[in-house]
Every structure is written in C-alpha cells, then in structure tokens.
Amino acid sequence: MADHREFARDMDLFHFEEHSPGMVFWHPQGLRLFHSVENLMRHVYQAHDFEEVRSPIALSRSLWERSGHWEKFRQGMFVVGSVAKADNAAADDESAVIRPDYALKPMSCPAHIAIYQSHKRSYREHPMRLMEFGICHRNELSGTLSGCMRLRQFVQDDAHIFCRESDVQGEIGNFLKMVQQIYKAFGYEQFSLQISLRPQQRLGSDHLWDRAESLLIAAVQSLGHSYQLAPNEGAFYGPKLEISLQDQWGRSWQCGTFQIDFNLPQVFDLAFVNEQGDLERPVMLHQAVLGSLERWIGILLEHHRGILPVWVAPTQIAIASISDKASIWAKAIFSRLRQLQIRAELYNEDGTISKKIRALSKRRIPLIAIVGEQEANSQTLNLRCLGASEQQEMSLAQLEQRLLQSNLKF
C-alpha cells in the first residue's frame, strides 16, 4: 500500500527537510487541504458552542513545574533557553550560559487554565468551552519519526471544558456526536472506544482517580456505547476515553480523545462563584476530535489513496481545453467557478487530451472538465470523475449545482 508521502509528492502537498526533522513544510496545495480540514473543525466546534482562543507556544518553566509536566513529561518537551551570563561571571567574560526558562507547549492545557484564571468566573459562564488550533511540540525520538504519522511539531484541535461534575455526561455525549459527524464527513464509517485508566506515574489521590474513572465509565455506558478497558494508559492528570477509527485497509488509528481531570483544577486552585455566592471548584475536561491535524491528513491520504472527497480536495476541479478555439469557453467556466469560491484550476499545458488527463489524474484532482469546440459551441462541458470510467455532458449551471452540493452542510 502506498505511503502518504508518495501521495504528497504526486499532489505537491508538503515535504520534509533534514534540518527540521519531524516538522512539515506545507506547499500551497497542502496548505489549502490543511485549511479545509481546519475550517470544517472551526465550524463544527462553533456549532457546539466552543469559543476559539489562541495562546503562546512558549510558556515559562515555572508554569510547567506547577502543572506537573516538568516532572512527568520533561523528556518529551523542547526546553527553550535564554542566553545569560553566569551569576559569578566577570564583567569582561564573553562566555554565556543558557537558562532553561521556557518550554514549547506539548499541549495547550495550562494556557487555557491561564485564560480561565484571567478574571473571576461565575456559574453563569459554565460549561465554559474553549478550543484552539494549538501548535504543539513534542521531542519524539528521531528513530520513531514517520512522515505525518509521528511528528515533533503539529497542530491539534485542543479543547477544554470547565464545568460541574453533573455536566460531564452531557459533554461526553456532545463529544461523541462531534466524532460521529466529523469522521463520517471524511469517509470513515467505523470507530471504537477505549477507556484508559490511571497510569503508574500520576498526579493526585486515589480517591480523585476513583471518582474520575467511575464517572467516565458510567457516562459511556449510559450513552449505550461499548468500550474496552486499558489499565495504566491514562494521562498523568486523568483517565481518557480514546476513539480509534478503522480505515479501508483494516487498520486502526487512535485519533479522538476525551479526558476527565479533577487534578489540574486542584493544582491551579481553579474556582468560580456559584448561585449561593460561594466559591466552587470546576472539573476540567480535555478533548480533541482529530488529534494532530497533520497526522489526520496522513491517515486520510492513505485511506482514500489520495483521491479525496471533493469538499476537502485542494483543487476540486481542473478545466482543460482540447483546442485554442475552446480556450475562451474554458476560461469563462473557470472564472465562474472561482466566483463561487470553488477551488478550480485552468489547465494550460500543451499536449494531447489523454496526456492532460494522465497528468491531472496523477495529481489526484477529483473532477476534470474537458472542453472542445463542440462543447464551446453548445456552451457545455464533458465531466470526468477520477477513478470512475463514465463521462457526463452537462451545462455550466448543472456543474455549479453539482459542486455546490458536494460542499458539506452541518
């Protein structure tokens, strides 16, 4: 089976360089694809009452010490130093020391806690749902890096909900609805659930872990989903519900995750004012539907063998004319589709029509409109779908309708 990096080469999506191992150089076509995925997620998160935020990628060591990441996760973080002179250095000493004052965030949790704590919170604001396309860095071992499937820098749909314990079941139900809706839109019909329990290395008392684990299990059971239990595989701050999708090659990929966390609210002393005017501690829920967007795109390319659904394809349709006489009509079609914000391309390379179709097929462009003199005279076009043998003669209005229908509606 072809590797996603081969499709990326044929489609001119992205490449890797040895001076930035585990990090992606996105090309114009690839960034279009990335933006289509991101825009869908933004839309769905908004529809489920999440507010988008953005936080810095570097946060101070003292914050990571407080969150527990410095102690439990430091090997996996990129520590950023600031250059300074040693305290005892002479005035003319040119040597410098690097102070490890910051770390690049491996996840956005402490940053969203900072947003929560930026002013006094009321029960009226809860559940408070924040989401970020968080740029995360994790210092994975170089031998484990594998295209988009394991990276050192990636963007994840990083969401946090601050709420009451009584809200948790509703939020899990909401999360599973988003998972179902989004996975289906990308062409996945099946996924499975796993509940990962407390790991050896963890924050907090057993009493809090008992509460969080039983709450998660009860919520998933009451929603009628079957699941598997995985001892020792939870996050260090809470148990995890993990979603794995099945691709068309029978492989399973863990992508979505939802975590119940009583520990970080305690560590950061989070509180809101309740109906009685008293301070109450929220529960923190962590969620990601896709996880790393780069990895999601890698899995998607392999699942569809590069032939992506029209709504997400970087170039949705190419218009190729057979003769110079037809080129004015081809340009008119192109301009009209661009007006409708369809990602269309006017294909101007020389060569026979079969050569043009071969080149466009290699780039996995899902739709090709062929325009010859006959089509120019009748103001029609000949539409071919990649991977299907039939061709269809249609008017421009019919093509417009077909393309607009392929856009997703949520």
Sites for Zn ion among residues 213-272 (CB under 5 A): none
Nearer to Zn ion, 40 or 111 (CB): 111
Nearer to Zn ion, 129 or 286 (CB): 286
Nearer to Zn ion, 158 or 375 (CB): 158
Nearer to Zn ion, 111 or 365 (CB): 111
Q: Which of 82, 83, 76 is nearest to 102 (CA)?
A: 82
Neighbouring residues of 311: CB distance < 8 A, sequence distance ≥ 6: 36, 185, 406, 407, 408
CB of 162 to Zn ion, least distance (A): 12
- Could you tell me which stretch among 25-33, 101-109, 342-350, 380-388 binds Zn ion (CB under 5 A)? 101-109
CB of 207 to Zn ion, least distance (A): 22
- Could you tell me which stretch among 105-113, 226-234, 265-273, 336-344 binds Zn ion (CB under 5 A)? 105-113
Nearer to Zn ion, 259 or 321 (CB): 259
Sites for Zn ion among residues 153-172 (CB under 5 A): none
Contact between 343 and Zn ion per CB under 5 A:
no
Nearer to Zn ion, 44 or 109 (CB): 109
Contact between 286 and Zn ion per CB under 5 A:
yes
Question: CA-CA distance, 344 to 369, in Å (whole number)?
Answer: 10
Concerning whether 356 is annotated as a catalytic residue, the answer is no
Concerning whether 156 is annotated as a catalytic residue, the answer is yes
Neighbouring residues of 74: CB distance < 8 A, sequence distance ≥ 6: 64, 103
CB of 235 to Zn ion, least distance (A): 8
Concerning whether 138 is annotated as a catalytic residue, the answer is yes
Concerning whether 48 is annotated as a catalytic residue, the answer is no
- Could you tell me which stretch among 71-79, 82-90, 286-294, 334-342 binds Zn ion (CB under 5 A)? 286-294
Question: What residue type is 246 in one-letter code?
Answer: Q
Candidates 61, 109, 295, 304; catalytic one: 109
CA angle 321, 327, 330 (to 5 degrees): 70
Concerning whether 240 is annotated as a catalytic residue, the answer is yes
- Could you tell me which stretch among 46-54, 186-194, 195-203, 282-290 binds Zn ion (CB under 5 A)? 282-290
Strand partners for 285: 161, 260
Beta-carbon-side half-sphere exposure of residue 276 (alpha carbons within 13 Å): 3
- Could you tell me which stretch among 76-84, 125-133, 281-289, 347-355 binds Zn ion (CB under 5 A)? 281-289
Candidates 137, 286, 356, 364; catalytic one: 286
CB of 322 to Zn ion, least distance (A): 55
Of positions 8, 109, 365, 369, contacts Zn ion by CB under 5 A: 109
Concerning whether 286 is annotated as a catalytic residue, the answer is yes
Question: CA-CA distance, 201 to 252, in Å (whole number)?
Answer: 27
First to last CA, the chain: 33
Nearer to Zn ion, 287 or 315 (CB): 287
**Total residues interacting with Zn ion, rule: CB under 5 A:** 2
Judging by DSSP bridges, how do beta strands 128-137 and 51-52 pair with one another? parallel
List of residues contacting Zn ion (CB under 5 A): 109, 286
Residues annotated catalytic, as ranges? 109, 138, 156, 158, 160, 240, 286
